[in-house]
Amino acid sequence: MASATITAKGQITIPSQVRTALGLDTGDRVEFVEIEKGQFLIIPATGSVQDLKGMGRGRRKRPASFEEMDRAIAKGASRSL
């Protein structure tokens, strides 16, 4: 299991095996998604605008709630692990 230590400034260094598994490189961003109280997923936020093409097809009749969005994000992230 990979681990990291939090500095006095609240920073951590992501272990190399985790960076490799997530496909992260210098300058990339990550998002922290709370999947339940006290548990978070770390998701690469490195996609391009082109990756969003076609995501609006099949739109819902009502807006999704924040909880529904969080569940969908967590579900998608768990598939990429």
Tens of pLDDT, residues 40-77: 888 888 766 666 666 566 666 778 889 988 888 888 87
* Residue in the structure block whose two tokens are 């996609």: 47
The pLDDT of residue 47 = 67
Task: Answer whether residue 79 shows pLDDT above 80.
Answer: no
Residue 32 domain-assigned (yes or no): yes
How is residue 62 written in tokens?
A: 């009502």
Q: Domain limits at 38?
A: 16-47+62-79
How many domains does one find in the chain? Answer: 1
Residue 6 domain-assigned (yes or no): no
H helices present in the chain, as ranges: 16-22, 66-79
Residue 72 domain-assigned (yes or no): yes
Residue 33 domain-assigned (yes or no): yes
Residue 41 domain-assigned (yes or no): yes
Q: Rounded CA gap, 8 and 20, in Å?
A: 26
pTM of the model: 0.53
E runs forming strands in 1-81: 30-36, 39-44
The pLDDT of residue 8 = 96
Residue 11 domain-assigned (yes or no): no
Average pLDDT over every residue of 13-37 = 90
Residue 5 domain-assigned (yes or no): no
